[in-house]
Amino acid sequence: MVARSTLLYLSRREGLKDFATRFAPFKKMTARFVAGETLEEAAETIRHLNSIGCTASFDHLNESVGTVEETEGEVREYLRILRAIDETGIRSNVSIKLTQFGLEIDPELTYRNARTVVEEAARRGNFVRVDMEASAVTQVTLDIFRRLRSEFGLNDVGIVVQSYLRRTHDDVLDLLKIPARIRLCKGAYNEPPEVAFPDKKDVDDNYVRLMQLLLASGTYHGIATHDERMIAATVGYAERQRIGRDAFEFQMLYGVRRDLQEKLARQGYNVRVYVPYGKHWYPYFMRRLAERPANVWFIVKNLFKG
Ligand SMILES: Cc1cc2nc3c(=O)[nH]c(=O)nc-3n(C[C@H](O)[C@H](O)[C@H](O)COP(=O)(O)OP(=O)(O)OC[C@H]3O[C@@H](n4cnc5c(N)ncnc54)[C@H](O)[C@@H]3O)c2cc1C
């Protein structure tokens, strides 16, 4: 079986990226997880999701951006997304990655870029979610988020936490004091055991503990998972504590467990689907493969089919 860590290692290898992005059958396989290369294609996907009762979050794929000009292009794309949401009336917010806005160049530039997008979202009554990336940038991501949150409202900007990180319990307690809107996920990067729980059971136990803290806080949070056990734990806890279905939302990724997305929406839960689009799909796509090695065999089979 292809190990998760191998796939996550390959997700950062530029050479393979060039090979994969030019290789048509490989590219075709991305269609399951990536809603096209253009904003218009992603908007069409979101229109469909809205029609089955789900909201969405746009994600323009392009992480670890290396030049100032490219980060400015990312800001322009997000301003375009926010305008398109208003003009089309689709129900969606946006998710950003700080490495997309220059975190590997200069944190101050990153802050300014992110601020421009949050300011525009706030002006339009929309919301920006700051995704969480690898542990090397956890602290600076939280620092920039706190700075943005001190200038903008609870419903303008939110953050993500990862239950696989040992530090996350303390981070959540601090974030809830601000308060902040939080998306809880398990975490998708390759992390050493000093910073992240190596055993899935510990990641899951921490997820349930953190979910309970979030739901009990009274702030509107996102419970992001496709794990039916995490979902059942959330539904059960909310029922026992008499927390209404409109007090939180479930979040899932485009192309993953569509059946579950529809089922929860039909049951009256708020469901938001994360919709990535763009040309730079390679690292995102490799993380999705790493989450479910069966996906790799699906690709291999299709490569041989031609
Ligand atoms: C809306 C959303 C936003 C996210 N944002 C971030 C972020 O900012 N930072 C970050 O580090 N991570 C993020 N993630 C990814 C997350 O950390 C996990 O890697 C991912 O969600 C898989 O974990 P799981 O909770 O679904 O549980 P798992 O235990 O990994 O999976 C449970 C079950 O879900 C299904 N499943 C899960 N993933 C896949 C897949 N790729 N393909 C097919 N089936 C699958 C399988 O049936 C699997 O058995 C996000 C996830 C979601 C849903």
How many Cα atoms sit within 13 Å of 220 on the Cβ side? 16
Element of type H or E holding 41 = helix 39-51
By most ligand atoms within 8 Å of CB, the mutation choice from 99, 253, 259 for ligand 1 is: 253
- Residues 47, 60, 257, CA angle at the centre, nearest 5°? 55
pLDDT single digits (tens) 185-229:
999 999 999 999 999 999 999 999 999 999 999 999 999 999 999
183, 272, 287, 288: which is the annotated catalytic residue? Answer: 183
Q: Tell which atom from ligand 1 comes closest to the C-alpha of 185.
A: 17
pTM: 0.94
- In the annotation, is 183 catalytic? yes
Pocket of ligand 1 (CB under 6 A): 131-132, 160, 162, 185-189, 224-227, 251-253, 256-257, 274, 288, 291-292, 295
Pair of tokens at residue 130: 């700051």
- How remote is the CA of residue 155 from the centroid of ligand 1, in Å? 24
Ligand 1 atom 28 nearest Cα: 227
CA of 69 to the centre of ligand 1 (A): 32
Q: List the structure tokens of 229.
A: 């056990």
| Strand pairing class (182-185; 221-224) | parallel
pLDDT single digits (tens) 106-130: 999 999 999 999 999 999 999 999 9
75 within 8 A of 112, measured Cβ to Cβ: no
Stretch 6-13: mean pLDDT, rounded? 76
Q: What atom in ligand 1 is closest to the CA of residue 164?
A: 17
Question: Around Cβ 83, how many Cβ atoms within 10 Å?
Answer: 13
Instruction: Respond yes or no: is residue 174 known to be catalytic.
Output: no
274 Cα nearest atom in ligand 1? 1
Backbone angles phi, psi at 76, to 5 degrees: -60, -40
Residue % of the chain over a pLDDT of 90? 79
- Whether 94 shows a pLDDT value over 60: the answer reads yes
Ligand 1, residue 200: give the atom nearest the CA.
29
Rounded to whole angstroms, the maximal C-alpha distance in the chain is: 54
More confident residue, 41 or 31: 41
Burial of 209 by CB count in 10 Å (0-12 exposed, 13-18 middle, 19+ buried)?
middle
Q: Whose CA is nearest to atom 8 of ligand 1?
A: 131
Atom of ligand 1 nearest to the CA of 253: 53
Average pLDDT, the chain: 93
Span from the CA of 186 to the centroid of ligand 1 (angstroms): 7
| Average pLDDT rounded to a whole number, residues 7-33 | 72
Calculate how far, in angstroms, residue 225's C-alpha sits from the geometric centre of ligand 1.
Answer: 6
Find out whether the peptide bond into 283 is cis, omega within 30 degrees of 0.
Answer: no
Nearest CA to ligand 1 atom 38: 291
Cβ proximity of 276 and 250 under 8 Å:
no
> Does the pLDDT of residue 254 top 80, yes or no?
yes
Which residue CA neighbors atom 41 of ligand 1 most closely?
288
Check residues 248 and 292 and name the one with the higher pLDDT.
248
What is the Å distance from ligand 1's center to 226 Cα? 6
Q: Does position 248 have pLDDT exceeding 80, yes or no?
A: yes
Measured CA distances, 8 to 23, 67, 284 (Å): 20, 24, 10
Question: Residue 48 phi/psi, 5° resolution?
Answer: -65, -45
Comparing CA positions, the residue from 29, 60, 49 lying closest to residue 91 is: 49
Query: Are the C-beta atoms of 58 and 45 separated by less than 8 Å?
Result: no
Q: Distance between CA 171 and CA 180 in Å, rounded?
A: 11
